[in-house]
Structures are given as structure tokens and as C-alpha cells.
Amino acid sequence: MDDAKKLVKLMGAAVVQAPCEAESQCAELTKMGLAYGTATEDMDALTFGTQYLMRGFNSKKEPITQICHSELLEGFDLSQKEFIDLCILLGCDYTHSIGGMGPVTAYKMLKECGDIEGVLEKVKEVNEDPDKKKKFVIPDKFLFEESRELFVKPDVNRDKVELEGMIVFDKPDEEELLNWLMNSKGFHENKIVNGIERLKKCQGKKNQSRLDSFFKSAVISSSKKVEAPKGKGGKGGKGTGAKGGAWKSRKTN
């Protein structure tokens, strides 16, 4: 991690050390207007409330997919509080999910009951009904309240002045990059020089350009009617709507 941070700084980019989850801190930066969006494959960033989520930076073949948080909530017809509960129902990093409950059932029950507490009452009714064949399995330690608290009040740095001081972009330190990567990491000089040249071209005239200025074109890909999640499986915060098409996405080539 220390090497990664050193490399990023030598490249002229800013580094913000998150006190806990990186996705929660990135989401907070977007809500404070200090960042445009969060680039990650982890869908938890949306559960934490990032304004935009960009996926696909790890692939050279696939386009970048941008997910708008406000359009996501509008498409699901959910508040942020309800969306957090939906993600917890489907499974997140902080607790187990309810056995036998897929995305469609979780969404329908949440819309009917309003929150996880109401869903649990509904589940108990279903489980006690002798005419119902399908039974749900509530985990012994279903830490939904603790999980909800972590999403609503994450451990993040909210000091805007301090954060603004951290988010400063500069030109790459070419001499130190060459010295460190060649002598300490064993990279070839030509590869480093080519990388530095690409960095300098990306920077352009302004050091703090918006993310979309690095893309040549953008195409909006969305359906007119946004539907609730379909199919079985998937995890809440990480998979809610990942296959259900419940948001309008922006694909950038």
C-alpha cells in the first residue's frame, strides 16, 4: 500500500488516506463536491451514496460504465434509507443475507413493508404459514442494524479544509519516478519514460481537469422504463441491480 501511495504521488496525483473503507471516503468526497465520482468495481460505493460510480477501468476492451446515484434511486423508486436496507437484505460485507430470498423477493417485500424490521415480520408470517412451501432462513447473527449504521454514518474524514489541502495535483516528478522505479522496482527506463509522457499528455493545460475531459466521446445507454432487479443471487451493496438494469448507465468509449 505504501508503494502504491508513493507511486501515485510521484505521478502528480493526490492521495487521501481513508480512516476506514475507501469507498465510503470516496463517496463522502463526491457529496462534498470535492470529487466527481468513485472509480471502483465495488457497488458498495453506491450504498455509501457516491454521486457517480464508474466501472470498467480494469478492462482495455470494455467501455467505462457510469452509474448515476440519483437515477438509481429514481429507477428503483426508493429513498437512500430504503436502498441501504435493500442492499443489506441482499447481502453486504458486514452481515449475512436471508436464505431463500433473492433480489426480486427482497425488493417486493421492502416496498411492501418499508424497512428491514417490517420485512422480518413478514418473513416470520410466511415461515409460520403451513400453506407456504417456501421458507426463509434468517441468519443467527443478522447484524442489519449494525450494518445500516455503518452505511449511514461511516467512519470518514469530513474536514473539508483538510481534504482540500490533500487534493492537490501536480506535474509528475520525472527524476524521482525514474530513479525509484528503475533502481528499487526493476522497471526498464523506456517503459517508465513512455508512461511519463502519457501522463503529461493527459494533464493538458489544467492539473485538475474533470474526469469526463479525459474521454473523447460519451454515449448514453438506458431504457425508457427502469425496472426492479431480476433474477436470483447477487449481493446487495455489491450486486444490487448489477444484472437487473435498474439504473441508467453512461458508457464512455
Whether 174 maps to a domain, the answer reads no
Residue 187 maps to a domain: no
The residue segments making up the domain with residue 56 are 15-169+212-252
Q: Is residue 71 part of a domain?
A: yes
Residue 214 vs residues 40, 61, 78, 210, 220: alpha-carbon distances, Å: 17, 17, 33, 8, 17
Phi-psi label, residue 157: left if phi above 0, alpha if psi -120 to 50, beta otherwise: beta
pLDDT in tens, the chain (253 residues): 899 999 999 999 999 999 999 999 999 999 999 999 999 999 999 999 999 999 998 888 888 999 999 999 999 999 999 999 999 999 899 999 999 999 999 999 999 999 999 999 999 999 998 888 878 999 999 999 999 999 999 999 999 999 999 999 888 999 999 999 999 999 999 999 999 998 888 876 554 444 444 444 334 344 334 455 554 444 444 333 333 333 444 444 4
Helices (H), the chain: 2-10, 22-31, 44-47, 69-76, 80-90, 103-113, 116-128, 144-152, 160-166, 174-183, 189-203, 236-239
Q: Is there a domain that residue 189 lies in?
A: no
Q: How many domains does the chain have?
A: 1
10 Å Cβ neighbour count for 240? 30
Q: What is the pLDDT of residues 205-227, one digit of tens each?
A: 554 444 444 444 334 344 334 45
The pTM for the full model equals 0.76
Residue 198 inside a domain? The answer is no
Structural domain includes residue 2: no
10 occurs within a structural domain = no
On whether residue 98 sits in a domain, the answer given is yes
